[in-house]
Amino acid sequence: MGLQKCGLNLNSAGKELQPHGTFEFPCAGYSERFIEESKDIIPWHWHEEIEFIYIKDGALKLHIPGKSFHLEKGDCIALNSNIPHVAMTASYCELQSLVFSPILITGNKDSVFAKKFILPLISCTSFDGYLLSTDNNEKATNHFRSAFEALAQNASGFEFIVREKLSNICFFLYRQFEQELATGDMGLNQDNLRIRKMLDYIHNNFSDNLTLADIAKVADIGERECLRCFQRTIQLSPIQYLLKHRIMQGADFLLKNPANSISEISSLCGLDSPSNFSKMFKRFYNCTPREYRNLHMMK
């Protein structure tokens, strides 16, 4: 099977659309090297699959709602289904990841593996992201490396190896959260539900003249609670996130619409002032919009 090409295909709400693996074998492996060309290497997004990320070299900062992880060489992190996440590196990072549907492990939703282990695990509010470091969880990390190597090398019967190793990690995670599962810690975290609704709204309407009240209304909360929810989950205010998203979209528009002027790009992003757009863009990307376009169009 080998590795798939790394790259996000997101809908306007930030949900990933790219299929991971195939219908017959719903698991995909990715390998990528990153350097700091922008502050967000992997933007906020989420997917229905579980994801394991392993740091082969360098370091990575990964954020999920309410938590931050500093991952170093040899570390592996498990991300639950539908958990928004963003990642960045200070200088360099080489990572490997496996993204897979729970059905790979369970076979079907009515199996004992689904009902007793996997469905309770992915429904556990305490399990959003779990760090598997080489110091404390070397066995689980080794399971990841064996699964990734088998898939990458397209070894004979790699499907059995990948499923077995991922099952071992999932059972390890189940054991870590067994007490929470026994006390009925199930269902989606309220902050996670709210932030996804509000990010959806921002991603769909960023070019409009949005206000704090507009964003709060989507989650059926007041403006103060909206501010607190954003601070608890992604450590930015709603308006800061909106501006950041507009600038990132502007960078994408600059390359996809080479005939458009900076003023037109600014308007597409919901910013009426080209000078303000250029000022914020330079603060974020360390270059002007024109310099960014020229640099990347030459590659």
Tell me what pLDDT residue 239 has.
93
Tell me what pLDDT residue 111 has.
94
Phi, psi of 51 (to 5 degrees): -135, 135
Domains and CATH numbers, the chain: 27-182 (2.60.120.280), 190-297 (1.10.10.60)
Asked if 132 contacts 166 with a C-beta cutoff of 8 angstroms, the reply is no
| Residue range 19-56, pLDDT digits in tens | 576 888 999 999 988 876 555 577 788 888 999 999 99
Tell me what pLDDT residue 290 has.
92
Asked if 104 contacts 25 with a C-beta cutoff of 8 angstroms, the reply is yes
Amino acid symbol at 133: S
Tell me what pLDDT residue 148 has.
96
Q: Which residues of the chain have pLDDT under 70?
A: 1-19, 21, 36-40, 184-189, 298-299
Q: At what angle do helices 223-234 and 190-205 cross, to 10 degrees?
A: 100
Tell me what pLDDT residue 130 has.
95
Tell me what pLDDT residue 137 has.
86
Element spanning 226, H or E: helix 223-234
In the chain, where do the E strands start and end?
27-35, 42-45, 50-64, 67-72, 76-79, 85-88, 92-100, 129-132
Q: Which of 114, 110, 125, 126 is nearest to 170 (CA)?
A: 114
Tell me what pLDDT residue 289 has.
92
Tell me what pLDDT residue 214 has.
95
What distance in Å separates the CA atoms of residue 77 and residue 60, rounded to the nearest whole number? 11
